[in-house]
Amino acid sequence: MKKFSRILAAVFSVLFLLASCSSSPIRLTYEDGRLVHSGKKLSYQAAPLNYEPVAIGEEYAVYGKANFPLYEIVGLDPKEWLTEANSGATTTVFYGEGVTLPTLREMDPTELYVCVNGLITFADRVVTDKHAIDRMIDLFENGEQVTWPLSGSIRTYELKFHSPERWPRIYYNLTFGEFPEGMFLYDRTTKRCVEIGDLLDKAESR
């Protein structure tokens, strides 16, 4: 009986070690503008800063000499999607070779989180006015490009466009700013800026 108990204990020890090893984060290396893992045939590139995770899961990988962590995006395959820790307006998402990023129009968002950035990012309100959301997208894509004012902001928000039906795990982020010159939407990646008037303020929300 004692011999059996020792064998059983040894088996559990081996299983524990195997489980510990399997749950350890994988190491990615930086090659030709991508994060790769040759053994697992994984390859990721950084998405534009517009794309953000809705919810962050467990640590999945590390990279660099400082072992920077990358995390799963809840609900998405970590072999195709990873993310940095949430840092407000600058969280970087990484996507695999088999992924085609949707445009804002293709996401077809039906809600819009109006977020205030600070020590904690929080949604001040949620716009549910589909007509207003579509109009903002139309203005952003087709409106006349103007210059984003560099000073004198009255208020700024991060607008997180969300499509619960089509892309429930990803936000598309644009910046809203009110200045004496007007109210604008701004893309930090492409530097595109358009005026939207009081469309955001008048949109129905919850």
d(CA 158, CA 109): 15
> With bands split at pLDDT 50, 70 and 90, how would you rate the model's confidence at 11?
very low
Per-residue pLDDT, 8: 37
> With bands split at pLDDT 50, 70 and 90, how would you rate the model's confidence at 155?
very high
Q: How many Å is the maximal CA-CA distance in the chain? A: 84
d(CA 84, CA 67): 12
Q: Which helix (H) or strand (E) holds 135?
A: helix 130-142
Per-residue pLDDT, 14: 38
Mean pLDDT to the nearest integer, 107-116: 97
- Domain ranges, ordered by start, for the chain: 25-96, 104-202
Per-position DSSP letters for 48-98, written without gaps between them: PTTEEESSEEEEEEEETTTTEEEEEETTS-TTTEEEPPP-GGGPPEEEETT
Give Cα 197 distance to the centre of its chain: 27
d(CA 157, CA 108): 21
Mean pLDDT to the nearest integer, 157-163: 97
Mean pLDDT to the nearest integer, 5-34: 61
Q: Which residues of 66-81 are buried (b: 16+ CB within 10 A; e: fewer)?
A: eeeebbbbeebebbeb
Per-residue pLDDT, 38: 85
Residue whose tokens read 């990012």: 121
Percent of the chain with pLDDT strictly greater than 70: 87
d(CA 154, CA 10): 66
**pTM, to two decimals:** 0.85
Statement: residue 77 has pLDDT above 50: yes
Per-residue pLDDT, 124: 92
Q: Identify which has the larger pLDDT, 19 or 95.
A: 95
Percent of the chain with pLDDT strictly greater than 90: 79
Closest CA to 185 of 158, 162, 154: 158
Statement: residue 5 has pLDDT above 50: no
Beta strands 167-179 and 155-163: pairing type?
A: antiparallel
Per-residue pLDDT, 39: 87
Give the pLDDT confidence of 49-60 residue by residue, as tens digits: 999 999 999 999
Per-residue pLDDT, 119: 61
